[in-house]
Amino acid sequence: MIDKINLAKKIEDMDEVMTDKQQSQNNQAGRMIWIDLEMTGLDIKQDKIIEIATIITDAELNILAEGPVFAIYQPEIVLETMNAWCVKQHGQSGLTERVRNSKTVTAEAERLTLEFLNSYVSAAVSAMCGNSVHQDRAFLREYMPELEAFFHYRNIDVSTFKELAGRWSPEILAGLTKESKHLALDDIKDSIAELKYYRQQIWHPQRKADNTIT
């Protein structure tokens, strides 16, 4: 009799665990991880990551959490390899100086970013979201492989919408105003706003029409 009671209790406990797990999965459903990197250039074998930021949104593109932003230390010999565009852009934004003064190395930035993401999304659930994220993904695969592997293999690349709008609906592209600051967190917020714009124009154009009805 005792064994039957114990077995029933174990089954009940397992059901509670499964319910909690299912609830957690339901809460995470549709969550999107947005990421942006700044690098010293675009050559994966030579250039390095100098800034990383992440944001979690729900499926409606509402921001749920902003992850830590890291300027990643790189020695002067690496910074000296930057081309003229990077020297000017990262110099004017203050990123180069932040990198010089940073105490955070690549491995630590990867570890702390993963800790943040694990608090909101399970591994392999979210696609990698952002602008031209194939480039970010290539650098992550080279320098932050554990972080790259955390994402689903698919990408949600906002730049795809831009390319297609330019070909199929140039009037949509003409209505978009965007100026990149080339700072990781700001660029993510710009990407989210850009996708919201395309969503409104492509999937919900009737809402605009409805607003004009009197």
Q: Calculate the alpha carbon distances from 68 to 36, 85, 191, 196 in Å.
A: 12, 26, 18, 23
Give me the count of residues in the chain. Answer: 214
Q: Of residues 73, 143, 153, 197, which has the active-site annotation?
A: 153
Distance in angstroms (rounded) separating the CA atoms of residues 159 and 165: 10
Core vs surface per residue 115-130: b (16+ CB within 10 A) or e = ebbeebbeeebbbbbb
Distance in angstroms (rounded) separating the CA atoms of residues 3 and 96: 67
Q: For the chain, where are the E strands, in sequence order?
A: 32-39, 49-57, 63-66, 70-71, 128-130, 155-157
Taking only Cα atoms into account, the Rg of the chain, rounded to an integer number of angstroms, comes to 22
Give the up-direction half-sphere exposure of residue 137: CA atoms within 13 A in the CB hemisphere: 19
Concerning whether 73 is annotated as a catalytic residue, the answer is no
For 60, counting Cβ atoms within 10 Å of its Cβ (0-12 exposed, 13-18 middle, 19+ buried), the class is: exposed
Report, as residue numbers or ranges, the catalytic residues: 153
